Amino acid sequence: MKRVCFFVVAALIASAGVVHADEIPVDLSVSVDDDLTVLGETIETDREGGFEAEGSVENEAYTLDWEIGGHLDPALVVSGSITNLTNAAINVAFLFATPVIPFLPPSGAGGSIAGSVTDGNGDGVTLSNVDSSLYTALVNGTDFRTLGDSPFNFTSAVPFGSAALPVLSFGIPGLTEPGPGVLVTDMGILVAFQLSAHDSAAFTANFVLEPRDEVIPEPATLGLMVIGLAGFAGRALRRRKCS
C-alpha cells in the first residue's frame, strides 16, 4: 500500500492586540511512502483577517489539488482532491492545523465534511477508513469531534461514474455543539481515508469555534505571538459562519 500524507501549516506572526497579520507563510509537505516533498509560499490576509491559498502536486503516483481558507475569528475551510495513479489502494491523510492567540473555552463549535468519488478504470470506486475517522476536528492537538467513524466505507459500482459522499456535520447551523472546556491555543482538521486504485476523491471540510465575549488579559510577556494555519482548500471567510 502506498501511504500518502498531505500536510499544510500556515504560521503568521502578530503582536499582542493586533487583529491580523498582512502575510502568512505557508509550508506544504507531501509524503508518499518514505518520499517527502516540501513546498512553501506566502499568502496575504485581507483587512478583515481572512486568508486563502491553493496549490497542486503531481507525480507518477498521484495528482493532488488543494485549497485552504479561513478567518482569524477562528475558522478553517479546507478542500482537497486526489487521483490515485497506482495499481493499489492508497492511504491518504490531509492535516490542517492553526495555532491561535489563546482564548477562553469556546461557547460553541461546528464543523462538516462533504465530498465525492469518481471511478477511473471501470471497476467501481471505494473510499473507506478502518484505522481512524474520516474527519477529526482537533483542539490543542487533541481529538475534539469526529465524523465518519471507523469502519467507514462508501462504494459506488457504476463504471466510470461519480457519486456524492454523504454530508456529515456537527453543531450546524448555529454552532450548537458545546465547545471544548479548555483554553484554546490551536485548532485543526484531519481528513483520512483509503482510496481504491486508479480512482479519484474530493472533499470540502470546515471547523469553526465561537469565542466567548470575555477577553483574556494580555500579559506583557506575550510579546509576539505565532498564529498558524494548516491541510486539503477553501474560500476566505469574510465573516465567521459555518456553511
Which pLDDT belongs to residue 74? 83
Q: Could you report the per-residue pLDDT of 164-203, keeping only the tens digit for each? A: 999 999 999 989 999 999 998 888 888 889 999 999 999 9
> Can you tell me which residue has the cell 509550508?
27
Q: How far apart are CA 82 and CA 65, in angstroms?
A: 7
Residues 134-167: b if buried by 16+ CB within 10 A, e if exposed: bbbbbbeeeebbbbbeeebebebeeeeeebebee
> Can you tell me which residue has the cell 495513479?
85
Q: Could you report the per-residue pLDDT of 118-144, keeping only the tens digit for each? A: 999 999 999 998 788 999 999 998 999
Q: How far apart are CA 143 and CA 219, in angstroms?
A: 29
Which pLDDT belongs to residue 225? 27
pTM given for the model = 0.76
Q: Give Rg (Cα) of the chain.
A: 18
By C-alpha distance, which of 98, 77, 113, 86 is closest to 32? Answer: 86
Low-confidence ranges of the chain (pLDDT < 50): 1-20, 27, 214-243
Residues 192-204: b if buried by 16+ CB within 10 A, e if exposed: bbbbbbbbbbbbb
By C-alpha distance, which of 16, 67, 65, 73 is closest to 46? Answer: 73
Contact of 68 with 41, CB cutoff 8 Å: no
How is residue 180 annotated by DSSP? P
| Torsion region of 196: left, alpha or beta (phi above 0 gives left; psi -120 to 50 gives alpha) | beta
Which pLDDT belongs to residue 30? 52
Which pLDDT belongs to residue 6? 37
Contact of 171 with 108, CB cutoff 8 Å: yes
